[in-house]
Chains A and B, each alone.
Chain A
Amino acid sequence: GENVEQHPSTLSVQEGDSAVIKCTYSDSASNYFPWYKQELGKRPQLIIDIRSNVGEKKDQRIAVTLNKTAKHFSLHITETQPEDSAVYFCAASSPAAGNKLTFGGGTRVLVKP
């Protein structure tokens, strides 16, 4: 089955700086890679996703890059703000596996004002 590794597990940045979270996956059949933000006690919230036919996708201060050859993808947050503080999860899925999501272990991001 799929295995997703996520690094770092914690990330502390100064407000205004950039944050980068990296994930690797094992199943070459995976072709959909969403990122979720989860605040304490709340639901995972989809913030951006990328499909395997695209190398990069951007939405305001958030961008995701995908390298299918190397089987890794990354989340980039620019101009971080205190409200970006949360746990971020990457995930991977494939239609052959019913599109079920396999999640990474999460990255706790703290943005210091």
Chain B
Amino acid sequence: DTGVSQDPRHKITKRGQNVTFRCDPISEHNRLYWYRQTLGQGPEFLTYFQNEAQLEKSRLLSDRFSAERPKGSFSTLEIQRTEQGDSAMYLCASSRDGGNQPQHFGDGTRLSIL
């Protein structure tokens, strides 16, 4: 069990650029969640997958955001035309399928928009 890994750890980009983050969940975990955390706040849910199916998207996830999990393993989160307000820590978590399964988080990708 190598844990949830995220890449890159840090991303600095200019406003208007596109960025893509990757998450590799724990290998036997069917569920994968994306959260966003701003300084001093708790993580906020963005979207989640069960295997390759994206089952829910938060209202926080504008049309500029898209997430995929094409083979039910790793996932990518893309932000197009980044804005200042997108600056945050993007966290990925994974869990086994079924109710009340613990979610384990990765170290996150910190996005800074110049």
Interface, chain A (partner B; CB < 8 A):
4, 6, 31-32, 34, 36, 42-46, 49, 51, 89, 91, 93, 95, 98-106
Contacts and interface: CB of A to CB of B under 8 A. Distances in A.
Contacts of A89: 42-43
Nearest to A34: B102
Given A43-B4, A91-B42, A103-B42, 16 more contacts: A6-B42, A42-B107, A43-B105, A43-B107, A44-B43, A49-B102, A89-B43, A99-B95, A99-B101, A100-B45, A101-B93, A101-B103, A103-B43, A105-B41, A106-B41, A106-B42
Contact of B42 (A34, A49, A105): A105
Contact of A46 (B33, B48, B55, B103): B103
B15 interface: no
Nearest to B6: A43
A42 B89 CA distance: 11
Interface in B29-88: 31, 33, 35, 40-45, 48, 55-56
A43 B43 contact: no
A36 B42 CA distance: 10
Contacts of A51: 100
Contacts of A46: 102-104
A106 B100 CA distance: 21
Nearest to B100: A32
B108 to A, nearest CB: 6
B40 A99 contact: no
B43 A99 contact: no
Nearest to B110: A41
Contacts of A103: 42-44
A43 B42 contact: no
A18 B54 CA distance: 42
